Every structure is written in structure tokens, then in C-alpha cells.
Amino acid sequence: MRGNSAKSTVAFLLLLMTGIVLGGLIGELTSGIPYLSWLSYGKTFGIAASSPMVLDLWVIKLVFGLELRMTVCVILGLIAAIIIYKKVL
């Protein structure tokens, strides 16, 4: 029972990542098309890559940065991934 739960968790995470990546790709591809440009509408938030947080410990320097770009198409990709997961498993 335990192994099956771990496999379904991995499958769920892979499906979510696939939905995010495909949604982002489709959003970028449709941004130049006038009647589909609404799919790329979204917001970017997080620690900007242009001004990351730096922790300088003299011997080692750590740089932290993470940006998330949520668009309509990414959200649709996430929803599609969840629906596919529910139907398959």
C-alpha cells in the first residue's frame, strides 16, 4: 500500500509540472496572437532575478532568487493536470 501511494504522489507532481510547463509554453506562443493574447495575462511575483537576496559569509556567498509567473494559461494547465490525474487514477 505504501509503495502505491508514493507512486501516485510522484505521478501527481509530474502531471502538475507538465501542466505548468505546457501552460507557460502555450501562453508564450499565444501572446502575439491578438484574439488569444489574454491567455498570457498574468502576474510575476517573488524575489526578482535581477535583484536577488545575497548572504555573504566571507568564505561563501549564497544568492537566493525565485520568480513565479502565473498566467491564465498556466492556471488552465494546472486545472487540466488535476482533471487528468483524477480520471486516470
Q: Could you report the per-residue pLDDT of 41-83, keeping only the tens digit for each?
A: 999 888 777 778 888 888 999 888 888 889 999 999 999 999 9
Helix (H) or strand (E) holding 40: none
* Residue 37 maps to a domain: yes
pLDDT of residue 3: 53
Give the span between the Cα atoms of 68 and 26, in whole angstroms: 16
- 78 located within any domain: yes
- Asked whether residue 31 is domain-assigned, the answer is yes
Cα–Cα distances (Å) from 52 to 48, 61, 62, 87, 89, in that order, read 6, 12, 10, 41, 40
Where are the alpha helices (H) located in the chain, listed in sequence order?
2-30, 72-88
Evaluate whether residue 38 is within a structural domain.
yes
Question: How many folded domains does the chain comprise?
Answer: 1
Instruction: Kindly report, residue by residue over 11-38, the tens digit of the pLDDT.
Output: 899 999 999 999 999 999 998 898 988 9
Q: What is the pLDDT of residue 1?
A: 43
Residue 32: which domain range? 2-43+70-88
